[in-house]
Amino acid sequence: MERNLTHIALFAALIAILGLVPKIDLAGGVPITAQSLGIMLCGTVLGAKRGALAVLLFLALVVLGLPLLSGGRGGLGVFTGPSVGYLVGFPLAAFTAGWVVERTTLPLGIAATAGAVIGGIGVLYLFGIPGMALVLGKSLPEAAFLGMAFLPGDLIKAVLAGLITRGLAQMRPGSVLSRA
């Protein structure tokens, strides 16, 4: 019981710091913000339920006025702005990613990447793009066109989520709770 709470709370903190630390470098020297990667890891490492709760807790803190979104953003304004769909989609994305890892018997790295693609792109964009459409006054196809700008980065992050999740299991078998 306590362990569930602390895993959820500490991973919410992890999402927060991944928005605060300097960007992660990719092989080619291209920097990426790690925060959405952290959201995927909540799902792939903690599993669907705890992963989603960790993200929800993180969002609650943003609502409470803490500037924890990457770039130091926070407060209620982010929920009435163009990213609102993505914010709403984050916990569902983490849930989906965790669900894929928990329910499939694919090798962990592949399952985590698949989960991150289905959840972190599929489900996330399902909410993110209509949200952008609404706030930016665009049609769904138009908003989808804008949203595609994030696709390459998100695909890379999905692969990294798989590598990191697999790396955790390699470093310490049994540490990945979604497969424990």
Residues making contact with another protein (CB under 8 A): 1-3, 5-14, 16-17, 20-27, 29, 31, 34, 37, 41, 45, 57-58, 60-61, 63-68, 71, 73-82, 134-138, 146, 160, 163-164, 167-168, 170-173, 175, 177
CB of 59 to another protein, least distance (A): 11
CB nearer to another protein: pick between 105 and 149: 149
CB of 16 to another protein, least distance (A): 5
Q: Give the span between the Cα atoms of 32 and 21, in whole angstroms.
A: 11
CB nearer to another protein: pick between 45 and 97: 45
Q: Give the span between the Cα atoms of 53 and 71, in whole angstroms.
A: 23
Q: Give the span between the Cα atoms of 7 and 47, in whole angstroms.
A: 11
CB of 86 to another protein, least distance (A): 13
List Cβ neighbours of 65 (8 Å cut-off, separation of 6 or more): 74, 75, 76
